[in-house]
Amino acid sequence: MNEILTKAPQGHIAVRNFSLSYDSIEGPVEAVTDTQIHVKPGEFVSIVGPSGCGKSTLLNAVAGFLKPTTGIVTVDGEKVNGPSAERGMVFQQYSLFPWKTVRENVEFGLKMRGMPRSQRERAARTLLGLAGLEAFEKHYPDKLSGGMKQRVGIVRALATGPKVLLLDEPFGALDAQTRVIMQQILTNMWQRLKISVLFVTHDIDEAIFLSDRVYCMTARPGSIKAEIPIPLERPRQQSMMMSSEFLALRRGLMSLIREESIKAMGGEISDMGLQGLNIELHGASLADVI
Amino acid sequence: MPASTTPASPPSFGTLVLRWYRINRDGLRATAIGIVSLLAFLLVWHLLTTYRVVFFVRFTNVPSPLAVYASFTKAIHDPKFLLHIALSCRRIFIGFSLAAIVGVPLGLIMGRFKLVHEIIFPVAEVLRPIPAIAWVPMAIMLWPTNEQSIVYITFLGSFFPILVNTLHGMSLVDPVLVRAAQCLGARERSIFREVYFPASLPHIFTGLTVGMGVAWVSLIAAEMISGQYGIGYFTWEAYSLVQYADIALGMIAIGVLGLGSSMLIRGAGQLVMPWRLK
C-alpha cells in the first residue's frame, strides 16, 4: 500500500507518428492518422474530439489492445506490445466482474501478481477506505450505484500501482451531479498518487476542469488538431468553472470541436438531405445553424 | 408506521406478524393458490375415475387417486419398487454426470479456441437432432451390457443441451471484461478461470437444467424399450401386467424424481453463483 502511495513520479507516455487503420471490403479505413501525443510523468492529459474521431482507438492503442499500423507507443521508453498491469484502465461501462465482490474486484490485479490472500485483502481494504467504499467491500457490483461502481473501477485500476492510468469516458454514463463528485474524487486520487493520466472524454468542461493539458482531435480520420495547456491553478474548485479564464478556455475548445463535429456530420447531413432533418437554412451556411 | 420510527420500544408480537404477512403476502398468495389448484386437480381426477366418465377420453380403466395411494403405500415397503427407483437414479447420476464432465469443458474449450470449434461443431450439429430414443438400437449394438447402453442414452440426451448452452454462454462473454482482466495483468489461463468460466456459468446451469430434463426423458424411453429394472420399466411392466394403479404410481414417481433433480441443480446453481441472488 505505502509502496503505491509514495512511488516516485514516472509514466512517460509517448505516441509517435501514430496511425491506425483497419481492413474493410472497400479497402483499408484510416481511424487515426499522423498523431503525436505525450504525457509527462505525473501529468493529467485529456483527449477531446467529436464522436467517432478515434480518441478511444488511440487510448486502446496506449493500453495495448490495438496495434498501431505505423508509428510507436512507448511508456518510459519501453514499447507497448500488449495490455499490462503497468497501464491501468478504467472503462465507461465500469466492467467490474459481476461474480466478484467489491473487494475481490479490487484484489484482482494483486491476485494476478501472485500476492498472498491476506496481504492483498489488507491492501484492497486500505484502498477501498480511501475511496469511502469500505462498507461495501462484500457487496456484489450489481447492488451498487453507477458512481460507486466507477469508484471501484478506479480503485481496481490503481491497486496494482500502475505507471499510468487510462480512462475511456469513465463518467459518460453518470448523471451530472455524480459526475462532478467523481471528477473531484479522481483529482484527489491523482494528486495523491502522482500518476500520469490519459483521459478520453467528449465533455469539454470535464476536460478543462481535470487536465493540465488537452488535446483536441479532428474528425475521422482523427489526428491532433490542437494542444491546449490549461493554466488553471490547483487545487481546482467547482466555482472556477464560472471564472472568465475557464470560460475563455471553454469557448476556444468549443469552437475547435464544433468545426470538427460539423465536418464529421456534414457528410451524413447532405447525404440524408436537409429536408429530412427539418433544418431551415434561410440562406445561412451549415456552420451557422448547427 | 409508528413502530418502525421508534426503534426504542420493541414492536408487539401482533405488529410483527402483521408486518411479516405484509412483506410475504405475494408468496403466501401463490402458495395458497398452488395448494388449492393441486387439490382441485385431485378432486377432478377423483370424480372422473369414480364415475368412469367416457367423453372422447375413456376414464373407465384409469385408477382413482385413492387406488394409486393404496398402491403407493404398498410399494414403499416393496424392496423391488425401491430398487427400480434406485437404479433409475443411478443411471441418471452416471449418465448426467458424464455429460456434464464432458460437455462443460468441451463447450468452454470450443468457445475459446476457434479451431476446436471448427472441427467439432459440424459433427455435433449433425448428431444433435437425433433424439436419444433413436439411439436405442445402436446403443444396444455398441455396448456390451444393457445397463451401459441405457446410461449411454441418458448421457446423450443431456450432453447436447449442456454443450450447446455452454457454447452459447462463452459466445456472450463481454469482451470488455476480458480486456479489464488483461490490463490487470491476467494471462490466458487466469482469464479462462476468472472471466470466461464464471461469465458462462449462468448459461452452463441453464444447460444443466435442460440437460437433466432430457436425461429423464431419454432414460424412461430407454428403460421402457430395453430395460430390466428402472422406474420406466416398472411403469411399462405395470401396463403389461394390467396393474393400472401402478401405471399412475410410476408416472408420478417419474414426475417427482424429475422435479427433485431439477431442484437440486437449481440449488447448486444458487450455491455456485451467489452474485445472482436477488
A193-233 tens-digit pLDDT: 889 999 999 899 999 999 999 999 988 888 999 999 999 99
Q: What are phi and psi of A59, to 5 degrees?
A: -65, -40
Domain extents for chain A? 2-86+162-289, 102-159
Residue whose C-alpha cell is 457528410? A267
Q: Is residue A20 classed as helix, strand or coil in its secondary structure? A: strand
Q: What angle do CA B68, B72, B77 make, to 5 degrees?
A: 155
pLDDT of residue A158: 92
How far B204 CA lies from chain A's nearest CA (Å)?
15
Q: Is A73 exposed, middle or buried (0-12, 13-18, 19+ CB in 10 A)?
A: buried
Q: Which pLDDT band holds residue A284 (cuts at 50, 70, 90)? A: very low
Instruction: Kindly state the percentage of chain B with pLDDT values over 90.
Output: 82
Class of CATH domain A2-86+162-289: alpha beta
| Chain B residues lying within 8 Å of A65, measured CB to CB | 179, 182
Q: Is residue B187 classed as helix, strand or coil in its secondary structure? A: coil
Alpha carbons A167 and A153: distance in angstroms, whole number: 10
Q: Which pLDDT band holds residue B8 (cuts at 50, 70, 90)? A: low
| Other beta carbons within 10 Å of B97 | 12
Eight-state DSSP code of residue B129: T
Q: Does residue A210 contact residue A46 with C-beta atoms inside 8 Å?
A: yes
| Chain A residues lying within 8 Å of B191, measured CB to CB | none
Residue from B76, B77, B88 nearest B229 by CA: B88
Q: What is the grid cell recorded at A290?
A: 448547427
pLDDT of residue B2: 46
pLDDT of residue B159: 96
Q: Which residue has the higher pLDDT, A274 or B168?
A: B168
Q: Which pLDDT band holds residue A2 (cuts at 50, 70, 90)? A: very low
pLDDT at B1 over 50: no
| Chain A residues lying within 8 Å of B182, measured CB to CB | 64-65, 82-83
Q: Is residue A147 classed as helix, strand or coil in its secondary structure? A: helix
Asked if A99 is an interface residue toward chain B (Cβ–Cβ < 8 A), one would say yes
pLDDT at A289 over 50: no
Q: What is the grid cell recorded at B171?
A: 459466445
Q: Does residue A207 contact residue A250 with C-beta atoms inside 8 Å?
A: no
Q: What is the mean pLDDT of residues A187-193?
A: 88
| CB nearest to B184's CB, from A85, A140, A142 | A85
Q: How many alpha carbons lie under 13 Å from residue A182 in its C-beta half-sphere?
A: 26
Distance, C-alpha B6 to centroid of its chain: 48
| Chain A residues lying within 8 Å of B180, measured CB to CB | 89, 91, 95-97
Q: Which pLDDT band holds residue A5 (cuts at 50, 70, 90)? A: very low
Which residue type, as a one-letter code, is found at position B174?
D
Residue whose C-alpha cell is 451401459? B148
Q: Which pLDDT band holds residue A276 (cuts at 50, 70, 90)? A: very low
pLDDT of residue A267: 58
Q: What is the mean pLDDT of residues B123-151?
A: 92
Q: Does residue B185 contact residue A109 with C-beta atoms inside 8 Å?
A: yes
Alpha carbons B253 and A218: distance in angstroms, whole number: 71
How far A119 CA lies from chain B's nearest CA (Å)?
17
pLDDT of residue A220: 82
Cβ distance A97 to B180 less than 8 Å, yes or no, reads yes
| CB nearest to A65's CB, from B179, B273, B275 | B179
| Other beta carbons within 10 Å of B69 | 14
User: Strand (E) positions, B146-231?
Assistant: none
A29-88 tens-digit pLDDT: 889 999 999 999 999 999 998 888 889 999 999 999 999 999 999 999 999 999 999 999
Asked if A161 is an interface residue toward chain B (Cβ–Cβ < 8 A), one would say no
How far B200 CA lies from chain A's nearest CA (Å)?
11
Alpha carbons B136 and B150: distance in angstroms, whole number: 8
A250-267 tens-digit pLDDT: 999 998 888 888 777 765
Q: What is the ipTM of this complex?
A: 0.85
A108-139 tens-digit pLDDT: 999 999 999 999 999 999 989 888 898 999 99
Q: What is the CATH number of domain B65-276?
A: 1.10.3720.10
